[in-house]
Amino acid sequence: MTRGEVAIATRNPKTLYLVMEVLKGLDLDFVICEPNGAECLIAKVIITTSNEAKGLDPERVVIVEDDLNEDSMVIALMLHLLDIKEPTSIVVGVDPGLRFGLALVIDDNVILTKISTSPAKAARFTLRWLTAVNNSFSQEPVIRVGTGSSMFAAFFLREITPHVDSTLLELVNEENTTKVGESDKSSAIRIALRKGRPLKESDDIFEIRESHVQSLKHLVLDITNGNRRISTADAQAVLLGDKTLEWLLGITD
């Protein structure tokens, strides 16, 4: 019997469905088997619940439950598949813009990528990833933020800096990180792999120009599918840091 990479070993139909959908999204092949079935016993990684993990090799098990934390599961799964036990480098790359590209890179391996349409959501994804890796490793992560757009980089920094030590943040020159035809995710990966400079207190402050006001107005139209227009005064309040983008959009969460 050929050894499979990933096996799902659960009798819980909800958990089984959720895990299958995640693995399909990752384009990973998998088998479904009984917790003590032959295919599970030889698989490289076994995804199962805590109640069904008894007797399985803990070195090969990824535990999931009904309230599936997709990011934590994917991180644990990829680390098992890549045989990463004690990483020496954990980096989140952030490509700020009308869409924020995010990439979690561990020991130069791409573990997760995301696209977000707001700096607050991008910050929440980043913090979620950091929580997942901090629960498993002592190695401190680094957050590398591209500087191609001073406005969008500043928006992200304002959201993330209250929650992380500033020494974990680096700003990366985005020159040659964006290739024609490539996605925001690809740019985020390139940013993650490029050494940046330490954060300065002035990095979330920038000279407000008319182009910034217009870009912010365009961003709000894009996020709201053209349903909301904002005044120049409101745009300037957000650009100055007096108000948040979520306030501008009427988002309370």
pLDDT tens-digit map of 38-63: 888 889 999 999 999 988 888 999 99
Q: Please tell me if the domain spanning 6-81 has the same topology as the one spanning 90-204.
A: no
Give how far the C-alpha of residue 110 lies from the chain's centroid of Cα atoms, to the nearest Å: 11
pLDDT digits (tens, 9 = 90+) for 105-133: 999 999 999 999 888 899 999 999 999 88
The tokens 């988002």 sit on which residue? 251
> What pTM value is reported for the model?
0.83
Instruction: For the chain, give percent helix, strand, coil, nearest 5.
Output: 40, 20, 40
Domain 90-204 = CATH 3.30.410: no
CATH class of 6-81: alpha beta
Residue 148, classed as helix, strand or coil, is coil
User: What residues does each domain of the chain span?
Assistant: 6-81, 90-204, 210-249
